Chains A and B, each alone.
Chain A
Amino acid sequence: EVALTQSPGTLSLSPGERATLSCRASQSVSNVYLGWYQQKPGQAPSLLIYGASTRATGIPDRFSGTGSGTDFSLTIDRLEPEDFAVYYCHLYGNSTATFGQGTNLEIK
């Protein structure tokens, strides 16, 4: 079973800066089934990116996803105050699925 490891656990940045979040799979996986989700306190998660790099409907182009094989990343350019949240990568495949442990993006 594939495991996802996210780093860093916490990322402290200021509005206007760029955030780069990492998600590493324990073995090579298909881009098709790699997604990113954002969760704000007290809310359900929401879809940001699917297929490793396709933005979901309504997601601004400040958010971008890249990667292949075992290494994937989510980049957020020009951080806005509403971007500070927890981000999870997620993988579906081989009749099961898993989440990474999350990266907490906090205001510095």
Chain B
Amino acid sequence: QVTLRESGPALVKPTQTLTLTCTFSGFSLTSSEMCVTWIRQPPGKALEWLALIDWDDDKYYNTSLKTRLTISKDTSKNQVVLTMTNMDPVDTATYYCARTVDPGYYYYMDVWGKGTTVTVSS
């Protein structure tokens, strides 16, 4: 059974750096085609794709947020970490991680975590 769980601070202050951890089980990020994606959703708004890391340690970012995001993985711990610098109240959102399958001829996010809510406020 594949599961993912997001963890991190519920509250951060403006200008601080947010660090979120996605802990997963039931698959390995060393297996080809396997990736993990981070997605966020501000209250009452649409989903926003943030970043992806694949089995080969290739990393892809949202073009608009690229300068603020860093994604990394620790395969020994089955974890993927997302950092976002210079947090602002507009970054208040629920942050999700999702297992992503990408063999090159299709792509999908098939298992999602429940999400973690982050509020940015002083």
Contact = CB atoms under 8 A, between A and B. Distances in A.
B106 A32 contact: yes
Contact of B49 (A32, A44, A98, A102): A98
A99 B46 contact: yes
Nearest to B110: A47
A97 B47 contact: no
Interface of A: 1, 32-33, 35, 37, 39, 44-47, 50-51, 54, 56-57, 88, 90, 92, 95-102
Given A99-B47, A100-B46, A102-B46, A44 B60 contact: no
Nearest to B113: A44
A32 B110 contact: no
Contacts of A45: 39, 47, 96, 109, 112
Interface in B97-113: 102, 105-110, 112-113
A52 B47 CA distance: 19
B63 A35 contact: no
B20 interface: no
Contacts of A102: 46-47
B46 A1 contact: no
B61 interface: yes
A47 B96 CA distance: 14
Contacts of B39: 45, 99
A90 B46 contact: no
A33 to B, nearest CB: 5
A41 B105 CA distance: 32
Contacts of B115: 44
A96 B49 CA distance: 8
Contacts of B47: 37, 39, 45, 88, 90, 99, 102
Most chain A CB neighbours (cut-off 10 Å) among B61, B62, B109, B115:
B109
Given A35-B109, A50-B108, 6 more contacts: A33-B106, A44-B112, A47-B109, A90-B109, A96-B63, A97-B62
B107 A46 contact: no
